[in-house]
A and B are shown apart, each in its own frame.
Chain A
Amino acid sequence: MTAHAVVAGVRRRARLTTLVLAVLAAALLLLALSVGTAVVSLPDVLSTLAGQGSRATDYIVLERRLPRAMTALLVGAAFGLSGAVLQSLLGNPLASPDVIGISAGAGASAVTAIVVFGAAGPPVALAALLGALLTAALMYVLAWRDGVTGYRLVLVGIGLAAILLSVTSYFMTRSQVTSAQDALVWLTGSLNESGLDELVPLAIALTILVPATAISARALDLLAFGDDTASGLGVEVRRTRLALLVCAVALAGTATAAAGPIAFVALLSAPIGRRLARDGGPALLPSALTGAVIVAAADFAAQHAPGLPQVPVGVLTGAIGAPYLLFLLARMNRGGHGG
């Protein structure tokens, strides 16, 4: 087999993976638009999307269901992309916004806004985003020692996450039952309240962040070969790493702002995406699509699965993600190293 055939084979596989995941995401979107208290048939959903719907289907599909379904997909994609960038950048499968304190920072900040300032809606989202960015900046400063290594950043992040979780707990225990209830739903990650107010800022943020991440995607791939090799191939290592870190944190921050820290989506999506694409790279697009599929599927199940009460989507992703985290930790310990 020639090198060309091998490389072409790998590319074909990556493209096929991307295509299959995209079709799956689109199918889930249509399903979410169709199923509910009033079932809209698939042809009606399609004609409504094409602008040919009746007033009833316009209301149900476009106004009631589309914002939530789109938010689910975009939030999932943002978490998936963020996790893929962080894991590849820091060379550690634990490096995910929910493990290294980014989500905890967003959570502490949002809970403070809800409980202390009685905020609701967009101000909570803004507080969450600011919390994520501030936590990341603090983490970066604390982990800095003539440059930042992945392992130090992960350890510092886990430490920060612990501190921030206790800040959250403190405010929760000091608060009124009703605002604690709101805060708890937010912290679990829920799409129950999702409407255009969540979708529009998220979509705007992603139109900036996704291309910004894509520009550095190939440099990210080379960073996995070590700083010297990447630098020798022409990557500006420090600048690229900082830019990607900012993008990944902002992605996780905006997703959290829109729907709360939906547990473990960022942690899970990247390894699945990488395993499906199998090209030895960071598999950003497959990971983002995997995240979108996970959140859309989990939210659909949370709403419609028979026997399940209407639970926040984060409960379901948490139930899938937590065993995976345990598996990761167990496997690492056996390997005798932390990364």
Chain B
Amino acid sequence: MTEHTLAEHTLTATDLRLAYDRREVVHGLSVAVPPGKMTMIVGPNACGKSTLLRGLARLLAPVGGTVELDGRDISTIPGREVATVLGILPQSPAAPEGITVADLVGRGRYPHQGWFRRWTAQDDAAVNEALTATDTIELAARPVAELSGGQRQRVWIAMALAQRTDLLLLDEPTTYLDVAHQVEVLDLLVDLNVTSGTTIVVVLHDLNLACRYADHLIAMRDGAILAEGAPADVVTTDVIERVFGMRSRIIPDPLSGTPMVVPESRHRMENSA
């Protein structure tokens, strides 16, 4: 993997303010993504976590503050150059009609190619490796539209992998997947993180899976970060209540030992004594 330099790249935001149509969603937030680690962003609906990810990936221009990639203001770096270092998998991406898996994954090579199509042996190697890593090589000739939700999500991740970036940002990559496929996708990301040293940032809905898989957890509410750090340090009943407005009990995950949040509810609490 010659294009990789192990976790050399840094991504930080300073006083970042992000808005849609003048409606501010992220209010003056500062964060530094830990290089070479798995970072998971959690928070209630509409807390601005996806917006933050889009801002970090240069998909949304800030209305205030800056995002810096390797210490340079990301808005001043040409898109192509950013795309060789930082990959983003948007939430529920769309594929054009009739495209095959191999073709879709091949599109991930765009930032590494010149103005006119020049397909090199290195492109081939990257696509093959991405298909192998995501266990989709058998699907290569199939149209994307015919795949199941889980297969399709793995194919999209394969496209992001074919891009061979040192930083990979994913917006809810497990949406619409059953629990087995969710675990499969997250395991795949850990593989990538361990074998290639890729820095990974994931917006994730499932709090307990985030606690299990994150090296670094970021908890957001109302466009601000309420707490961040290792899940074992961050996740307390108090933090969960402040972030989600929900009382809970926290027990160790019997398999990973990471914190597991058990929500309190109004009904079916017979063992709560």
Contact = CB atoms under 8 A, between A and B. Distances in A.
A228 B57 CA distance: 10
B10 interface: no
B103 A280 contact: yes
A232 B90 contact: yes
Contacts of B89: 232
Nearest to B107: A222
A103 B98 CA distance: 30
B88 A3 contact: no
Contacts of B137: 2-3
Interface string B108-128: 101101011101000010011
Contact of B90 (A215, A222, A228): A228
Interface in B52-84: 54, 57-59, 78-84
Interface stretch (A198-206, A233-241, A318-326): A233-241
B107 A225 contact: yes
A136 to B, nearest CB: 24
Nearest to B20: A146
Contacts of B54: 228
B223 interface: no
A225 B95 contact: yes
Contacts of B95: 225
Given A215-B115, A280-B96, A233 B105 contact: no
A234 B90 contact: no
B154 to A, nearest CB: 14
Nearest to B144: A280
Given A3-B140, A231-B59, A225 B100 contact: no
A64 interface: no
Contacts of B102: 3, 6-7, 10
A236 B115 contact: no
A235 B80 CA distance: 7
Contacts of A12: none
A44 interface: no
A10 B93 contact: no
A174 interface: no
A58 interface: no
Contacts of B79: 231, 234-236
Contacts of B96: 224-225, 280
A4 interface: yes
A106 B140 CA distance: 46
A232 B115 CA distance: 17
B93 A228 contact: yes
Nearest to B171: A228
A50 B124 CA distance: 44
Interface range, A side: 20 to 34
B98 A232 contact: no
Interface of A is mostly: helix
A6 B110 contact: no
Contacts of A304: none
Residue among B81, B94, B104, B163 with most chain A CB within 10 A: B94
B243 interface: no
A258 to B, nearest CB: 28
Residue among A3, A7, A214, A218 with most chain B CB within 10 A: A3
Interface in A85-138: none
Contact of B21 (A6, A146, A225): A146
B99 interface: yes
B251 interface: no
A229 B163 CA distance: 12
A141 to B, nearest CB: 19
A146 B23 CA distance: 13
B106 interface: yes
A1 B103 contact: no
B173 to A, nearest CB: 13
Contacts of A227: 59
Residue among B88, B98, B117, B141 with most chain A CB within 10 A: B141
A278 interface: yes
A232 B80 contact: no
Contacts of A279: 103
B42 interface: no
Contacts of A214: 116
A236 B141 CA distance: 30
A234 B57 CA distance: 11
A51 interface: no
28 contacts: A2-B128, A2-B140, A3-B102, A3-B105, A3-B106, A7-B106, A7-B127, A146-B21, A214-B116, A218-B113, A218-B116, A225-B107, A226-B94, A227-B59, A228-B54, A228-B59, A228-B90, A229-B94, A231-B79, A233-B83, A233-B110, A233-B111, A234-B83, A234-B110, A234-B111, A278-B98, A279-B103, A280-B104
Given A3-B137, A7-B102, A233-B83, 17 more contacts: A3-B101, A3-B124, A3-B127, A3-B128, A6-B101, A7-B103, A10-B100, A10-B103, A215-B115, A225-B95, A225-B107, A226-B94, A228-B90, A232-B89, A233-B107, A236-B79, A280-B103
